[in-house]
Structure 1
Amino acid sequence: MARGSDTRQRIQAVARDLFRRNGVQKTSLQAIAAELGITKPALYYHFASREELVRSIVQPLIEDGEAFLREQEKRTEVDQRALLEGYFDFHFEHRDLIVLVLSEMPTLAELGMIEIVLTWRHRLAELLFPPTPDLAQSTRAVMALGGLQDCTIQFPDVPREQLREAAVTAAVATLTG
């Protein structure tokens, strides 16, 4: 059993690398199999399609995002700064995968990720401005959340804590603007 899981992880690692270099749409399962030194049928044993393989790679991002949201939604009181810090941390931890996903908009759409992200942002806006944010508040929430995500990607060489402080401070200013 561990061997199969090990092979799945190797396939995912190689696929991530090829997807980053060539794009999801331009990376065939044959290319992944060749890079691994296995046959295409062996790859099909673990993943029935490229979509299934891509989904398996982004699933941890989806699961972690949902877990973050559920944890925030359980709170009786929301501290905007703490929520934004957690949101920054989530994106920082997943930034390599987020870059891959963002560079593949057609793949995002196929996997339903666009709807997921929009739903997450709506849920977060309701937490930041309860009970129901008006248009101005929703707009500020989208700007703050999108800006935090973008900062984790835009400044890869800035130390995490320095970037976190600057990005979260800017996001808080956007919310209170």
Structure 2
Amino acid sequence: MDGRRSDTRERIRTVAMELFSERGYEKTSLREIAERLGVTKAALYYHFRTKEDIVVSLSDDLRRGIDDIVTWAEQAPPGRERAEQILRRYSALLHSLGRDMVRFWHENQPAFRDLGFGAGLRYQFRVLADLMTEPDAAATKVYHARQALLAISWSVSMMDDLELTDDQMHTAATAIAIDILARIQ
């Protein structure tokens, strides 16, 4: 039973992200999500009481994923290999979350700000970049580390007009990010 409940929650989250990306967060209702899924609002309420609950569950996945990367990185010896692995793990995390979700985060910054997620995610992003550089690194090195992470984020959210598969984008974005990383070594 837990597997089926989990699958339903995942379907709801996927459809919600599709609608949020198509119509915008503010213009999408729970009724529309339920209709697209072919379920009643009551069935949807069983899993998520509000749109905010859906976004919170997705944001929690991202935060946990980044926390896992940070925990791993703090145990790994500093240097180029750790920095590359941070990029690879970050790329895999965003790739696993899906294009619609990442695009939603980029296109719905006011909703993220209003729901209080933006500051925490920005902090985690900075922690990742700091772990990619040596302590007290020059500002330009930290800048390049952040740009490498952004290359991955933007490729997932802003390149959906190109005829590339998710895997092709994932591979290309990771390679570009590693090229940027080479500037700080």
**Structure 2 length as normaliser, TM-score?**
0.77
Alpha-carbon distance in 1 for matches of 2:177, 2:65: 20
* Other structure's SS at 2:103 match: helix
Kindly report which structure 2 residues correspond to 1:10-49, keeping only aligned pairs within 5 A, or say none: 10-49=11-50
Q: How does 1:79-158 map to 2 (within 5 A)?
A: 79=81, 80-96=83-99, 97-155=101-159, 157=164
Partner of 2:69: 68
Q: CA RMSD in A?
A: 2.7
Give percent identity, aligned residues only: 27
Q: Which has the higher contact order (CA 8 A, sep 6+)?
A: 2
Whole-angstrom CA distance in 1 between matches of 2:96 and 2:181? 21
Q: Structure 1, residues 57-104: CA drift from partner, whole Å, max 9, x if none? A: 333222222212211122133323333333333333334121122111
Conserved 8 A contact 1:108-1:114: yes
Cα shift at 1:154? 4.4
TM-score (norm 1): 0.80
CA drift at 1:172: 1.7
Amino acid in structure 2 at the alignment position of 1:42: A
Larger Rg: 1
Using the alignment, how far apart are the partners of 1:48 and 1:162 within structure 2?
Answer: 37
Aligned partners of 2:65, 2:147: CA distance in 1, in Å? 22
Distance 1:110 1:152 in 2: 23
Q: How many residues align?
A: 176
Distance 1:40 1:120, change over 3 A: same
Alignment deviations for residues 107-164 of structure 1 (CA, whole Å, 9 cap, x no partner): 2213433222321232123222232334333323222221232234445517257514
Check 1:109–1:14 CA distance in 2 against 1; reply closer, same or farther (3 A cut): same
Q: State the distance in 2 between where 1:146 and 1:105 align.
A: 15
Deviates more, 1:71-80 or 1:25-34: 71-80
For the residues of structure 2 that align with 1:89 and 1:64, how far apart are their CA atoms? Answer: 10
Residue 172 (structure 1) aligned with residue 181 (structure 2):
yes
**Structure 1 unmatched runs, 5+:** none
The range that moved more, 151-160 or 36-45, is 151-160
In 1, the alpha carbon distance for the partners of 2:37 and 2:151 equals 37
